[in-house]
Structure 1
Amino acid sequence: MGWVEYISPKEKTVHIQFDDGKECDYLFNELEEIVHSYVITIHKSQGSEFDTVIMVIPPGVPKLLTKNLLYTGISRAKKKLILIGYEMTINKMIATERQDKRNTNLKIKLREKIGKK
């Protein structure tokens, strides 16, 4: 894996720095040789599915680490899931029964639309 360090429009190259320390310049017409990967949050991924999901669960922020969040992340994977995190943190998420109350105006808006109070 690696990341784009810089793009040189003048030389028509993309400079890539790899995790293992190697660097490489690709000509624009060679870019099809690169397989792209993307990162999004679990919240942004809701409603989508991906062949492979790498889910990283950091230690801490207990309010955010819930069973619902874990389920949402896991259920995004169609074929392969790679779960990275501390077993203790994941077990705490599984044991979480807390359901956060959602404050919406849906009930009020529906009543306004249908003319009831």
Structure 2
Amino acid sequence: MQIENDYDKEVYNGDIGYVEGVDLNEGELTASFDGRTVSYLFGELDTLVLAYAATIHKSQGSEYPAVVIPVLTQHYAMLQRNLRYTGNTRGKRLVVIVGQRKAVAIAVKNVSGRRRWSKLDE
């Protein structure tokens, strides 16, 4: 997963690619993003992370065949209705919620979230 925009390579934060090859002699990795091959020098690899698991924040705007969402009271700060909604709507065919009923209830009731300070006129 690309974690920051790279306008030259035309890959953007949240784009998911698949490693196609690694050339140790050239110090280069190639990845496929939607059928398009993109090359990275080894020094550029800090803009890529493994995407077998992604946060709800990183998954915004994306869909996946199946999604597993852990919902636990230990992650109290993340128990917000808007995050639960976003997570639930990422799965195309299957969404599995794993955790505690109490945590789900807290998240559903918590509509407060963080207030945004945009400095726009009300």
Question: Which of 69, 93, 96 is the matching residue for 1:55?
Answer: 69
Q: Percent identity?
A: 29
Q: Which amino acid aligns with 2:55?
A: T
Which portions of structure 1, spanning 4 or more consecutive aligned residues, are displaced by more than 4 angstroms? none
**Deviation by residue 1:38-80 (Cα, 9 ceiling, x = unmatched):** 1000000000011100111222343321011100100101100
Partner-residue secondary structure (3-state), 1:39? coil
Question: Which of 93, 96, 99 is the matching residue for 1:85?
Answer: 99
In structure 2, stretches of 5+ residues that fail to align are 1-23, 25-50
In structure 1, stretches of 5+ residues that fail to align are 1-8, 10-36, 109-117
Q: Alignment RMSD, CA only? A: 2.0
Distance in 1 separating the partners of 2:62 and 2:117: 24
Q: Choose 1 or 2 for highest CA Rg.
A: 1
Distance in 2 separating the partners of 1:50 and 1:70: 16
**Deviation by residue 1:72-94 (Cα, 9 ceiling, x = unmatched):** 10010110011111011101111
Partner-residue secondary structure (3-state), 1:44? helix
* TM-score for the superposition, normalised by structure 1: 0.54
Aligned pair count reads: 72
- Paired residues of 2:82 and 2:111 also in contact (CA < 8 A): no
Q: Which amino acid aligns with 1:100?
A: R
Say yes or no: does 1:69 pair with 2:83.
yes
